[in-house]
Amino acid sequence: MKKHFIYRYGLLLSVLMAIGCGSCQIDDNYVQYDAEYASLRFIYPARGNDSIVYSFALRPDKQEDVVEIPFKLVGLAVGQARKIGVEVVKEETTAKENDHFVIETSELPADSIKGVLIIKVKKTPELEDHNLVATFRLCDNENFAAAPIHENTYKIVLTNRLTRPTGWPFGEYSRIKHQFVIQTLGIGTDYDQWNVSEGIYYRSIMINALYEYNKAHPGEPMIDENGLVITF
């Protein structure tokens, strides 16, 4: 009886193994991962945000500067640097190449999955009156396939007017308040780099500076461009 049970168990196990191995057969129609495939896509600061505003008004000492647009690799890193493909999207660009911006030579570094597209931007008189836009698209070249459509463009908005910077720590934003901060602190941007104690310290300086201004102008407190009394 015992031998008969072992025989039946062994037969059942053989059948199950045969079925299992049959399911492991490679389907000729199965699309395997292509180790040679490589593409790039831009890294956006937030979902749906495919642009950056660069204001020379925040950097009054600069006539030229560099904007770094991050991108990442879709594929495998290799042991040598590779040039990336990039083009200006003319129908979405109001800035003039060479006059307002220059695409610097950029590449994906060796053994890396991330890099930056380097754009030189220039301060010109036109930026005093209106903003200019430069839009860039990652495109295919000898090293990379075309980027996914929803992650292949990035826009730089150039201006010489004050705009709300990242990490603005002084309550309601206005250009006049911002200008007052710059005049008092000499700091126009990168507020998001402050720690808590630095934020408290600089806010106390601005509160005192505003007090001194209003004391020197009795009955005429500082008003912003919206007609609101400025507070800190």
Residue 133 lies in a domain: yes
- Are 152 and 42 within 8 A, CB to CB? yes
What per-residue confidence (pLDDT) applies to 35?
A: 67
- Are 102 and 163 within 8 A, CB to CB? no
Whole-number Å distance between alpha carbons of 139 and 147: 6
**Structural domain count of the chain:** 2
Burial (0-12, 13-18, 19+ Cβ within 10 Å), 19: exposed
Where residue 129 sits, what CATH number does that domain have?
2.60.40.1510
What per-residue confidence (pLDDT) applies to 204?
A: 96
Tell me which amino acid residue 124 is: T
DSSP 29-62: T-----TT-EEEEE--SBTTB-EEEEEGGG-TT-
Give the other-Cβ count within 10 Å of 34's Cβ.
Answer: 9
Residues 6+ apart with CB under 8 A from 217: none
On whether both 190 and 124 belong to a single domain, the answer is no
Domain range spanning residue 85?
38-159
Whole-number Å distance between alpha carbons of 214 and 170: 18
On whether both 216 and 132 belong to a single domain, the answer is no
On whether both 94 and 180 belong to a single domain, the answer is no
Whole-number Å distance between alpha carbons of 178 and 157: 19
Angle between helices 175-185 and 196-216 (to 10 degrees): 100
- Name the stretches of the chain with pLDDT < 70: 1-35, 47-48
On whether both 114 and 43 belong to a single domain, the answer is yes
Whole-number Å distance between alpha carbons of 70 and 47: 14
On whether both 63 and 142 belong to a single domain, the answer is yes
What per-residue confidence (pLDDT) applies to 48?
A: 63
pTM reported for the whole predicted model: 0.69
Which H or E run includes 68?
A: strand 64-75
Pick the last residue of a domain from 98, 129, 159. 159
Which residue in this structure is represented by tokens 């002084």? Answer: 170
Note the pLDDT tens digit of each residue in 44-76: 977 667 888 899 988 888 999 999 999 999 999
Pick the last residue of a domain from 159, 182, 206. 159
- Are 84 and 75 within 8 A, CB to CB? no
Query: Among 119, 118, 114, which residue's Cα sits nearest to residue 81?
Result: 114
